[in-house]
Structure formats: structure tokens, C-alpha cells
Amino acid sequence: MERSSSSYTSEARSHVLCLCNVEAPLVTLWTEDNPGRRFYGCGLYKVTGRKWYNYFEWHDSVANIRQKKIMVALMKKVDELELREKDLQSRIRDMKRKDNFLRILLVVCWVCLCLLVCVLYPRYNVKVLECSVYPSLHLN
């Protein structure tokens, strides 16, 4: 599993300041070494782009080995389910395209069948009589 991410949140201790005197956000790590473990980092990280610039403090204690194994297994399961969902969404899109194509094909076939019946069996054609309102209009 190559998953490594972090997320910011505003919960926990209020107004923890880093060494830059900027509010330090609470960040959650999602790595194999620290799954779900939270820490406070420098508030200038987003501005400077340097990780833990001038400040770093763990919010949570170190998880025991069993907790880490469970978290890593759950993260892998989430990854598997996300991949499966993407695959199923792709299959649904393909089926919808095929369904639309078949609906269009069905309409075209019905139109062709109707035209074929009209051409092969002219006695079944409906002849419209001359219209009394518009005598010049002739439909045969």
C-alpha cells in the first residue's frame, strides 16, 4: 500500500500557536507508520510549502502495534473498495451507452420495418381523400 496523506482539522485544543506565532492546524496522517495519528504543524506550512516548518507536536500518543495493523488493514480495504467502485461506475457508464445505442437501433429497425411493409404491401397503405377545405391538396 503506497497510501500517504494528511488532512487538516480545526478540532482539539483551541489556538495552539507554532513558533511563528501563527495558529497551528491539527493534521491527521494516513501513512502506514502513523495511520490516523494527529499532530500540530506550523501554520505557515501552506504558505511556505515546507513540512513542519518551525513547529511540530504530536497530538495523539503512539498507537500500539495491533491498532496500527487494524488501521492499515482498514485503509487497504478502503482502497480496494474505492477501486471496485470506480470499476463498477465504469461498467455502468458502458452499459448506459450500450442501452442508448440499442434503443436507437430499435427505433431505426421499427421505422425500416414500417417502410418495408408500406412498400411491399401497397394495398394496406392508407389513402387520404381529397380535402374539401383545400381542394388543391392531394395526398396519396
Q: Please report whether residue 139 resides in a domain.
A: no
Q: Please report whether residue 99 resides in a domain.
A: yes
Confidence of residue 53 (pLDDT cuts 50, 70, 90): low
> Which domain-ending residue is among 43, 63, 83?
63
- Structural domains of the chain, count: 2
> Which domain-ending residue is among 63, 81, 100?
63
Residue of higher predicted confidence among 127 and 111: 111
Q: Please report whether residue 75 resides in a domain.
A: yes
In the Cβ-directed half-sphere of 84, how many Cα atoms lie within 13 Å?
6
Residues 89, 58: one domain?
A: no
Please state the pTM of the whole predicted model.
Answer: 0.50
Which domain covers residue 89, as residue numbers?
65-134
Q: What is the pLDDT of residues 17-44, one digit of tens each?
A: 877 777 888 888 888 888 888 888 887 7
The pLDDT of residue 51 is 62
How far is CA 13 from each of CA 10, 43, 135, rounded to the nearest angstrom? 9, 15, 91
Task: Give yes or no for a contact between 40 and 56, defined as CB atoms under 8 angstroms apart.
Answer: yes
Longest dimension (CA), the chain: 96
Placement of cell 500500539 in the chain: 64
d(CA 9, CA 59): 12
Residues 58, 69: one domain?
A: no
The pLDDT of residue 126 is 54
d(CA 44, CA 1): 30
Task: Give yes or no for a contact between 61 and 39, defined as CB atoms under 8 angstroms apart.
Answer: no
Residues 53, 77: one domain?
A: no
Mean pLDDT of 100-110: 97
Lowest-confidence pick of 4-13, 15-24, 78-87, 118-127:
4-13
Residues 38, 50: one domain?
A: yes
Residues 121, 73: one domain?
A: yes
d(CA 109, CA 111): 5
Asked whether residue 99 carries a pLDDT value surpassing 70, the answer given is: yes
Q: Please report whether residue 102 resides in a domain.
A: yes
Q: Please report whether residue 140 resides in a domain.
A: no
Confidence of residue 13 (pLDDT cuts 50, 70, 90): low
Residues 70, 100: one domain?
A: yes
Confidence of residue 139 (pLDDT cuts 50, 70, 90): low
Q: Give me the sheet containing 35-41, strands edge to edge.
A: 6-9, 26-30, 35-41, 56-58
Task: Give yes or no for a contact between 130 and 137, defined as CB atoms under 8 angstroms apart.
Answer: yes
> Which domain-ending residue is among 63, 88, 110?
63
Residues 53, 73: one domain?
A: no
Average pLDDT, rounded, for the chain: 79
Between the two ends of the chain, the Cα-to-Cα distance in Å is 74
Residues 76, 126: one domain?
A: yes
Residues 45, 55: one domain?
A: yes
